[in-house]
Structure 1
Amino acid sequence: MKRLRYSIYVIALLCVMVLTQTTYAEEVYRETFSPGATRVTYDVTYDKNRAIIEVLELDLNNPGLDLKVVAGQGKYTQHATVSSMAERTDAEALVNGDYYNTLLQGAPDSASIIDGRLVSSPAVYTDRHTLAITADKRAVIDTTYFEGKVTAANDVSYPIDGLNKSYYWYDGTGEYSHENKIQVYNDFWASASRGDEKNTEVLVNANGVVEAISPKQSLPYAVPDGKLILQVSAAAEDFVNQNIKVGDTIKVNFGITPNDNYQFLIGGHALLVDKGQSVPYTKDINVLGGRRARTAVGVSADHKMIYLIAAEGRTDRSKGLTLGELSDFMTRLGVERAMNLDGGGSTAMVVKNLGNTERTRVINPEKNAAERKVVSGIGIYNTLPKTGQPQGIKFTGPDTLVIGESGLYQATGAWDTNLHPMDISSWGYHFETPSDLALVSESYLLALQPGNLELALKADNGLSATKQITIQGYDAIKTLTVTTDKKRIAPGETLHIQAEATLSDGRKVILSPRVLDFMLTDMEGSWDSESGNLLITSTGNGIGHITLKGGGIIQGEAKLFDTSVTVIEMTVNKKAYTVNDTAATLDAAPFIQDSRTLVPVRFVAEALGLDVAWDEATKQVTLQGAKTLKLTIGSNAYIVDGVSQAMDTNPLIKDSRTFVPIRFIAEALGLDVAWDEATKQVTLINIPQNLKATKTPLADAPSTPESKLAVPTDQPA
């Protein structure tokens, strides 16, 4: 990866512009996805604020590259998202374009030329600029002006103010754009609503013949194909009334200056860079200021390279840029001149990555909202023919694995000699690596040892691609959790064991048992490290322990129980519980009081198959099973098989349910009890008497501190 660092020039520049400090600007991705078009992704930090910036480097020397201004759904007043514009025009990439008033009819503020045709004029605003491309493929950022006039049959003329403009007010003078003016609308304006609906309109056909005049109101239809509508008021209306009538042949001439045979032209805002240097922003930034999503364009000194920039803003992964930071970043790209395009909520970029038939949105809208419908965009197109001759293939999959992890790798695209995507659905291919650090199985790579390796895709037609992969060791694993598909098992049965690693970065992955050491205690069985299956041959004293270790660094454990053992699991403050993995629901949740966990007594009785009786007069609960247990509400004394004992917590009634402290109940009934502090889970284990006779203490059995346990009781029996 390439890293751009500060130089003396940058430090001096910051002193002049009072810009923020850059921590780094790192190029993290580069790919030529279409003739003359390269996508470059930068991860940039300004003043500890991270920004993801996508740059499209566009080489106008390449004959296969074409740029087009794209208007919404095809015409102005028809807004559309960046994604839908790209889909409609089959663009290789597309980014949002010119500024516009979101409250008005939907036309750009500045001039625009599409396929050599002028379809909008610049508003009378100061310091607005345009990007133009000449017929000989030279890119120019300049200020553009509009001029034109209507000449009546008697040779009297009147100036034209603009083409396809929503109403607005001039910078500086505050003049209203649709008063004392002639505004022209052609058939690129799709709406029947135009400018000021109270103004007079004149319909002129392609031959200059006046077909209709509508005094003081708009004509009730959109501009017919090939015709013009003139909207006039006040002095301009007087000109029409005095010099033009239906049937007259008039002349309507207009254009922009300068115009070096422009085939492409789109407007923007103020300059960001001039003569390779950042420049102060001249426009009012009350609305544009702050750290936002940004869109901009720059050109090289030889006018042959265009740089389209989109910075994601106000999302979890990218804070965006200030205008000063945007200017600074573009000088780092080496542009000669650059201007700001519409940003903020309008910013979005989609790219058809090399070999892909579908587009990827590489810059998301602010706050990850839905894409805004905008009036225009800049589209990138591949004009070369499809050759059908395969040139390259690529695949996706993780660049980093942890030891024991299996990564899925798949061919995702291929392209012909002119970089058009090709259908690979019928292609055969396989993966291979010369390294013994990993094992390839069809589309999966199993990491066996730490280190670096190269994975290669080999297609049957001779194409190939490679990817560098890093395998991390056990030290990248924070915790190891061992789970089984069965908790209770009988001799002769098989269970599957799964090890899930939580990595230092929070990612969770399943590890192959091949890289882990296995140990089974207090039961006997046969372990298959290939499949992760364990065949139990003896359940011993009823409770077994599985331990998986990795390199002496990580360890995870799980318990197994004989099928004759009853296992009850419940969680504090939750009504859901399980008995031998069968889910059920309590009508009252366990809770903690005075550092003791209390559970409903009827739940304990039913789960263990005990008889329960309630004596209303004495407020006494009796549990009858292998032992007889009697508890009294409000008393810490309890009786087990006629022997009186004491506990430090009293049974109580809550919400008409009798709750009892679980640790004392478990001990009285001869149950094992375990507590998981992290999950607040209580586990009761009832081992049959025949197994208890042979039971030996388990060194790894979790202890349950008295300070952590106590239990609730059910309603009076």
Structure 2
Amino acid sequence: MPSTTPQTRHKRSRLILPFLAGFLVLSGPVSNAFLPAAHAASAAVTYKLVKQSEMIVTSGVRQLTYSWVASDSKTSEAIHVLQIDLKDPYVELNAMGGPKGSVTGKQSVGAMTKETGAVAGVNGDVFRTGSSTEGVPMGAQITSGQLLVSTEQLTGMYAFGVTKDRQPVIDNFVFTGTVTAADGVTSFPLTGVNKSAYRTEPDKAYSHVNALYIYTNAWTASERPMNSAAKPTEALVVDDVVTEISSQSAIATPIPANGYILRGHGTAASFITGNLNVGDRIGSSYSLTSADGKAYNPADFQMMVSGHTLLMDKGAPAAFTRDINGLSGNADRARTAVGFSKDGATVYLVTAEENGGRKGVTLKKLQQILGELGVWKAVNLDGGGSTTMVSRPLGDFQTQLAHPTSYGTTQRLVTNGIGVYTTAPQGSLKGIVASGAQTLFIGQQSTYALKAYDSYYNPVDAGGLTPSWSIDKQLGAFANGAFQASKPGTATLSVRSGSASDSLKVEIIGEAQIAKLIAEPSSTILKPGAVISVPIKAELTDGRQLSVPASSISWEFRGFTATSKDGKITVGKVQDKTVAGYAIARYDGYGAVVTLASGSEQPLEDFEKVTYPVSFSGTPAATVGTASISTGVPGRETSKVLVMDYEFMMGSGKSYANAVLNDGKGISVGGSPSAMSIDVLGDGGRQWLRAEFTNGDGKPAYATIADQVDWTGWKNIRFDLTAAGLKGSSKLTKLYLVNKEEDQDERALQGQVAFDNLVLQYPPGQIAVSNPTIVMNVGKTQGTVDGKSVKLPGAPFVQKGTSTNYLPLRFVADTLGAQVVWNGPTKRVTVLRGDKMLELWVGKDSMTVNGARQALSAPPIVINGSVYVPVRVISEQLGQKVDWESKTKTITIH
């Protein structure tokens, strides 16, 4: 550890700010502000837990999925539970960790289960990340009865463990230990095992100052601990015998499995050099003491993983034992928790999903959920991007994600987890399983397989079984285990082999389930020969967000001809006088529009002949890095690109790493581009990527290139510039990364990105639309357009029993310069104007606006062959203002 001069203290405090994996830890005393919801007045909105599915993982382990449904909303959050019966003699829980048992190496929960043979698991302890830490668990970790990491001296930090006699325990454990010299009398307190440097609570002291620590071969980082300015004094102990002592420098000898390093600073270093000699036989002992004073030998535990705040105690929500602000505790986020039943016979591993439209839950809501599950005592584990649950589907040999993570299918690397294991012997064949996709889109094909399990619900080889398949509803073509979906709905897929059978619910997504259809084009320039990639996503009414296969999408083109293949459209002929072209992606009749405009592209910069300076700036000053024009970058070996290396520091507030162009004077951007495309070499660091411009009036303007750099390798990105509001003679001054304040530990604090081929996209200007003033009167077929008298196809009217004004859709749409398309079979009317697409259905109380479903106060109706719609719906959604004069019953649209 460094010396305790004020200057050194300040330097080290930057390096060991306490952050959690998933969340920032704000330390300090617990106030009433941290009390859970159960202690406050109940809100008007109520929730209920509704079970959706249940699956056996292995004997004694069930996986359950619930919906957490709010009384005021049709949407719900997804809650996932692994329910473990500790009375089952073949079920075990254990702590999983880094590769080959490393406490300083991280890996995904899926990798942990694969390496250790677990049948299910969740992520575990919180941990610090960044260039100054190793990612060691903040709390204790016991694996198979061996203490790999001791607890930190933190206030209100709880841990979950299972004793050798299969009793679950949740408590606030404190580590105590002693190292005794060869004389059997002289001793020194042992502060911990395999710990990173941190600040203790509540005194904020440096953890390793005047302290003695044990490091084992589970510590695989290059230093003990890393980034320490101190010159440690160390002793290598093998089979309780001191074999090597090094003063003021680390021992280079690898630590054997039957040995450990004693590392000391200050008075602890003096104990080593003054009382230990090579050849001495010394002793070391340590224990974990619970909050009520009970001392445990770590060997009494089968496993232990720490968490954070206590959540449940005696079946009721507990007062939070740590500050939850750093956990985003009052925001909806992904969560992970572990708890057990009152009788100690059942353990619950619980996750709340956060992905797409699903936002997760607050910690107070998590407490309510645990209460409904019947959890007696529970502790919060790492959450946010760390939240992961994997399980082995019945009949499968490998684990897989039980639900999406915050990153989709990507699993974050974490420090440890809780694994579920089976020790059951091979049993006899018990049953078979139909395995395959349970959610499909119309037009999608899936192949289903037969799997089998034994009397302990563990997988067995199904190679000798002959399956016979059937489906109860004709929602598509089914043959030899392959199903091609053609209609929306739910069906039951059945398989039989001999006397054994199984069934699987299959859901085929229909239009009614879609809340939003999202098209993400790579370009919006309308020109012959253009090839535009347009991936489509569907956000469902229950919050799920799914990618729609290209084979399930049909396309309509207006204003131009085009072909579509594999998610890409190729523009053919553009019709004369076309101002805007519309590519409409449809799934089961539900549409999303891509508005294309004829325009041009102009290269802005390819960095091949740069004559201006490029430099780096960081805010705050602790953010460091470099920016330069370089060659030899992977993927661009023969060309020049702009490369930026960056390093952020953990801390409050946002930090910025800027590649500054031309000393901040920037490079000129001609005209008024609507978009820019850029090639970006991503490092997967998940930072926010932006561009800064300066307008002709000298004021800055900003545009987001990517919400997060979540890719590696080169990627072409098109980003919008209209929202930036570029005016006059603007300049591009910076390309920069933002390290946001929240969830900093979920992003890489150092890395490298590169930029190439900046291209500006220019439409012909705003897509021209007419904006006439339309005046109509209820009950009259005579109106005016810009003061000129016109004849209406039908008179506006007020629907009986309501105050809703209806008017003829086509007349208003045509007058506003919109295109109107009627689809008779579905009674759908499509209105295209500018960059907007509205779709309405006769008799339906909802509409879509650019692919997003919205409620209608009243549905469209048909009178004498003409469609009538509520006046404000069509007018205001198309950007017009509507005035109503009640005395004269006059409607003015302008």
Output the TM-score relative to the length of structure 2. 0.50
Counterpart for residue 317 of structure 2: 278
TM-superposed deviation, 1:576: 5.0
The one-letter amino acid paired with 2:87 is N
Are 1:150 and 2:179 counterparts? yes
Q: Give the aligned partner of residue 118 of structure 1.
A: 147
Task: Check if 1:341 corresponds to 2:381.
Answer: yes
C-alpha change, 1:458 and 1:136, in structure 2 (3 Å) is same
Judge conservation of contact 1:190–1:223 (CA < 8 Å) in 2: no
Q: 1:206 to 1:57 in 2, by over 3 A?
A: same
Q: Distance in 1 between matches of 2:490 and 2:223?
A: 64
Partner residue in 2 for 1:251: 283
- Assess if the C-alpha contact under 8 Å between 1:571 and 1:577 holds in 2: no
404, 421, 430: which is aligned to 2:459?
421
Shift of 1:414: 1.3
Higher alpha-carbon Rg: 1
Aligned partner (choices 502, 508, 517) of residue 465 of structure 1: 502
User: Do 2:340 and 2:348's aligned partners in 1 also have CA atoms closer than 8 Å?
Assistant: yes
In structure 2, give the amino acid aligned to 1:131. Answer: F
After superposition, residues 295-314 of structure 1 pair within 5 angstroms as: 295-313=336-354
Distance 1:424 1:244, change over 3 A: same
Gap regions ≥5 residues in structure 1: 1-12, 478-501, 511-569, 596-654, 656-674, 681-717
2:108 corresponds to: 81
Q: Are 1:63 and 2:69 an aligned pair?
A: no
Counterpart for residue 233 of structure 1: 265
Does the 8 Å contact 1:198/1:218 carry over to 2? no
The 1-side partners of 2:278 and 2:512 are apart by 87
Q: Distance in 1 between matches of 2:307 and 2:400?
A: 25
On the 8 A contact 2:439/2:507 being kept in 1, the answer is: yes
Which residue is equivalent to 1:43?
67
| Shift in alpha-carbon separation, 1:262–1:446, aligned structure 2, 3 A | closer
Q: Distance in 2 between matches of 1:592 and 1:448?
A: 35
The yes-or-no answer on 1:368 pairing with 2:408 is yes
1:238 Cα deviation (Å)? 2.0
- 1:394 match: 433
Which whole-Å CA distance do the structure 1 matches of 2:276 and 2:547 have between them? Answer: 75
Q: Find 2:137's aligned residue among 86, 94, 108.
A: 108
Give the letter aligned to residue 465 of structure 2: W
- Could you tell me how far 1:588 is from its partner in structure 2? 6.3
Deviation at 1:292, TM superposition (A): 1.1
Three-state SS of the structure 1 residue aligned to 2:272 is helix
Instruction: Say which is worse superposed, 200-209 or 80-89, in terms of deviation.
Output: 200-209
Q: Is the 8 A contact 2:333 2:362 kept in 1?
A: yes
For 1:143 and 1:197, how far apart are their aligned partners in 2?
31
SS in 2 for 1:62: coil
Distance 2:201 2:360 in 1: 29
Cα distance in 2 between the residues matched to 1:111 and 1:201: 25
Contact kept, 8 Å, 2:180 with 2:283, in 1: the verdict is: yes
Q: Return the alpha-carbon distance in structure 1 between the equivalents of residues 153 and 204 of structure 2.
A: 10
Aligned residues: CA RMSD = 4.2
Is 2:118 the partner of 1:132? no
2:639 alignment partner in structure 1: none
1:96-132: CA deviation from partner (whole Å, max 9, x where unpaired)? 1111111211211111211111111110011111111
CA distance, structure 2, for counterparts of residue 446 and residue 108 of structure 1: 48
1:596-641, CA deviations, whole angstroms, 9 ceiling, x for partnerless residues? xxxxxxxxxxxxxxxxxxxxxxxxxxxxxxxxxxxxxxxxxxxxxx
In 2: Cα distance, 1:38 partner to 1:100 partner: 29
Q: Distance in 1 between matches of 2:269 and 2:510?
A: 81
Does structure 1 conserve the Cα–Cα contact (< 8 Å) formed by 2:562 and 2:573? no
| Corresponding residue for residue 28 of structure 1 | 52
Given the superposition, is the C-alpha separation of residues 226 and 588 from structure 1 closer, same or farther in structure 2, using an over 3 Å criterion? same
Cα 1:323/1:593, change in 2 over 3 Å: closer
| 2:40 equivalent to 1:17 | yes
CA contact (8 A) 2:334 2:361 kept: yes
| 1:72 aligned onto 2:72 | no
Aligned-pair CA distance for 1:572: 5.4
| Structure-2 separation of matches of 1:450 and 1:204 | 68
Compared with structure 1, are the counterparts of its residues 464 and 363 closer, same or farther at alpha carbon in structure 2 (3 Å cutoff)?
closer
2:89 is aligned with what amino acid? P
- 1:523 match: none
Partner in structure 2 of residue 266 of structure 1: 305
Alpha-carbon shift at residue 441 of structure 1 (Å): 5.2
Q: In 2, Cα distance between the equivalents of 1:360 and 1:93?
A: 9
- Alpha-carbon contact 2:241-2:280 (below 8 Å) kept: yes
| Alignment partners' CA distance in 2, 1:336 and 1:365 | 27
Report how far residue 392 of structure 1 moved: 1.0
Counterparts in 2 of 1:142 and 1:23: CA distance versus 1, 3 Å: closer
Paired amino acid for 2:576: P
| 2:317 partner amino acid | S
Structure 1 residues 212 and 292: CA distance shift in structure 2, 3 A: same
Q: For the Cα contact (< 8 Å) 1:30–1:39, is it kept in 2? A: yes
Is 2:388 the partner of 1:321? no
**Runs of 5+ consecutive residues of structure 2 not aligned to the other structure:** 1-35, 290-294, 515-537, 551-555, 582-763, 765-819, 823-829, 833-894
CA contact (8 A) 1:19 1:324 kept: no
Identity %: 30
Deviation at 1:359, TM superposition (A): 2.1
Aligned pairs (5 A) from 1:467-546 = 467=504
- Aligned counterpart in structure 2 of residue 178 of structure 1, from 201, 208, 222: 208
In structure 1, the partner of 2:778 is none
Change (3 A) 1:52 1:476: closer
Structure 1 507/330 Cα, relative in aligned 2: closer, same or farther at 3 Å? closer
CA contact under 8 A between 1:17 and 1:280: conserved in structure 2?
no
| Separation in structure 2 between the aligned mates of residue 452 and residue 587 of structure 1, nearest angstrom | 41
Residue in 2 that maps onto 1:431: 469
Deviation at 1:594, TM superposition (A): 13
Query: Which of 294, 298, 307 is the aligned partner of 2:335?
Result: 294
Q: Which residue of 2 aligns with 1:167?
A: 197
Q: What is the CA–CA distance in structure 2 between the aligned matches of 1:447 and 1:80, rounded to whole Å?
A: 38
Structure 1 position 203, deviation (Å): 2.6
Q: Letter of the 2:267 partner, please give it.
A: A
Judge conservation of contact 1:406–1:444 (CA < 8 Å) in 2.
no
Please tell me the residue identity of whatever aligns with 2:242: V
Q: 2: distance between equivalents of 1:152 and 1:366? A: 51
What letter matches 2:61 in structure 1?
A: A
Amino acid aligned to 2:125: D
Residues 370-394 of structure 1: per-residue CA shift (max 9 Å, x gap): 322111011111111223x321112
* Aligned equivalent of 2:799: none
Deviations 1:192-240 (A, max 9, x none): 3112462433233333222222222222354332111111111112222
Please say if residues 97 and 378 of structure 1, whose CA atoms lie closer than 8 Å, have aligned partners that are also in contact: yes
Counterpart residue type for residue 34 of structure 1: T
Q: Using the alignment, how far apart are the partners of 1:476 and 1:344 within structure 2?
A: 27
What is the distance in 2 between the residues matched to 1:450 and 1:236?
71
Distance 1:591 1:294, change over 3 A: same
Evaluate the alpha carbon distance shift between residue 41 and residue 229 of structure 1 in structure 2; reply closer, same or farther with a 3 A threshold.
same
Contact 1:390/1:417 (<8 A) preserved: yes
Q: Distance in 1 between matches of 2:122 and 2:563?
A: 54
8 A Cα contact 2:238 2:256, kept in partner: no
